[in-house]
Chains A and B, each alone.
Chain A
Amino acid sequence: MAGKPRVAFYWAGSCGGCEIAVLEIRERILDLAQAVDIIFWPVAMDFKYQDVEAMEDGSIDVCFFNGAIRSAENEHLARLFRAKSKTLVAYGSCAHEGCIPGLANLSDREGIFEVVYRENPSVENPEKLVPVTRYDLPEGEVELPTFYDTVRTLGQTVPVDYSVPGCPPQAHQSWAVFEAFVKGELPPVGSVIGAGEKTVCDECEHVKEEKKVKQFFRIHEIVPDEKKCLLEQGIICAGPATRSGCGALCPTANLPCRGCYGPPPGVVDQGAKFLSAVASVVDANTEEEAARIVSQIADPIGTFYRFGLAASLLRRRKLDQ
């Protein structure tokens, strides 16, 4: 490509952690700024949407898009950046698989508004107001983007070229991804980049022996042995059903993997594989005992799909109509 690659960063439905994750490369951000032209980055630099709208289609070389698609504004920007970018990267778990915002798919707009604007004990809203998309003020009509019933991933909204998993992506992985783009050393379109090809267990140094679990614990209910496999101690760990690449960050701190790097290669539904892996190690030889032990697992859908609900096969909960 002629001149420096033109790069954009954007955030949609996300917490902002992926923006911090870019800065986690620390002083190398200066090398990055040398190697590329950053032409859009709302968190760090002052650009307007109109600046992007004015660009020619395909004039951005790479757009790193983080955040899920939760509102009409998110979708508009996803379509805009798809049109303007040669390469669109789903950067981070929200864009890749919906992440924590995707858990909103257990409810819908009405249910979420009810809790957030009316029911929460800390809310003071005597008139019971909730946001509307259009409202007439004396100064004229004001508009808010539509809040969707269902959170979608970036890839469910527009075609995505690459995905970088992680909540957030780890700094060494982000750096490797930026380098690959600058050098033009990229795998085939559609690949997951900035991650491994195995599972978190492969990177985890806890000693793994035979997995036989008689009792499950939540993390506040047990002080785990620092050497033994956490799953073997009855702590629900997503390691067996999660892509490697983070360096087993959470298990190294003696906390179970929660699954943020998404499904390993070849897995279509991370939650189903996670459930299957956990249930298989239950040490029960009768149906009654197995049922009793698995009943100790609280909130199956929130546990097994903490990061992947929006990208799962069924995508959301069916609500009573």
Chain B
Amino acid sequence: MAQNGFEPHIVAFLCNWCTYAAADAAGISRMQQPLNVDVIRVMCSGRIDPSFVLMAFLEGADGVIVSGCHPPGDCHYGEGNYKTFRRMPLLERLLQDYGIEKERFHWGWISAAEAPKWAQLTKEFTSRIKELGPLEWKGYLKEMESEEA
């Protein structure tokens, strides 16, 4: 249950061919999922520019999920997910440099056949973010940019 009624805002960037299909199947199969996750469908996890993730945190996300097709062979485009696993470890470090706890960012793979895995991830990730509390990036910026000495 939410701590002090905090309901986190989670943004999930999902590839069209695998994880989005899994999320869709999870919904159709009426698997219980928290309402905190907003899904943004992209054609490939290799399309997810690191700036999308930064923008999500800036605009109020308390947690971000990136998920695509299992490497090596599942990518609809051959090796789009290779780009993902090259970029995400570095983005993970960058986020920590920004002072964003690493638990707020999850990246991985869920195939179209793994709807229960998606439902499980949304539950676990949401409760993890509830534990961490709100990020409120813009509020923090405002506080640090005020002129008060």
Interface residues, chain A, CB within 8 Å of chain B? 72, 75, 106, 108, 133, 146-150, 152, 268-269, 271-273, 275-276, 278-280, 282, 284-287, 290-291, 294-295, 297, 299-301, 304, 312-320
Dominant SS among interface residues on chain A: mixed
- Residues in B with CB closer than 8 Å to A279 are 83, 86-87, 89-91
CB distance from B105 to the nearest CB of A (A): 13
Q: Known: A272-B49, A272-B50, A318-B100. Is A150-B87 also a contact (CB below 8 A)? A: no
- Residues in B with CB closer than 8 Å to A271 are 94
Chain B interface size range: 20 to 34
Q: Is the CB of B54 within 8 A of A290?
A: no
Q: Spot the interface stretch: B2-10, B33-41, B136-144.
A: B136-144
Q: Is the CB of B87 within 8 A of A108?
A: no
Q: Is the CB of A287 within 8 A of B85?
A: yes
- Tell which of B87, B93, B141 touches A276, judged by Cβ atoms closer than 8 Å: B87
Q: Considering the chains assembled together, what is the distance between the CA atoms of A275 and B49 in angstroms?
A: 10
The residue on A at minimum CB distance from B109 is A287
- Residues in A with CB closer than 8 Å to B94 are 271, 275, 300-301, 304
Q: Considering the chains assembled together, what is the distance between the CA atoms of A147 and B87 in angstroms?
A: 36
B20 on the interface (CB 8 Å rule)?
Answer: no
Q: Is the CB of A280 within 8 A of B98?
A: no
Q: Known: A146-B149, A149-B144, A319-B99. Is A290-B85 also a contact (CB below 8 A)? A: yes
Q: Considering the chains assembled together, what is the distance between the CA atoms of A146 and B147 in angstroms?
A: 8
The residue on A at minimum CB distance from B49 is A276
B132 on the interface (CB 8 Å rule)?
Answer: no
Q: Is the CB of B51 within 8 A of A268?
A: yes
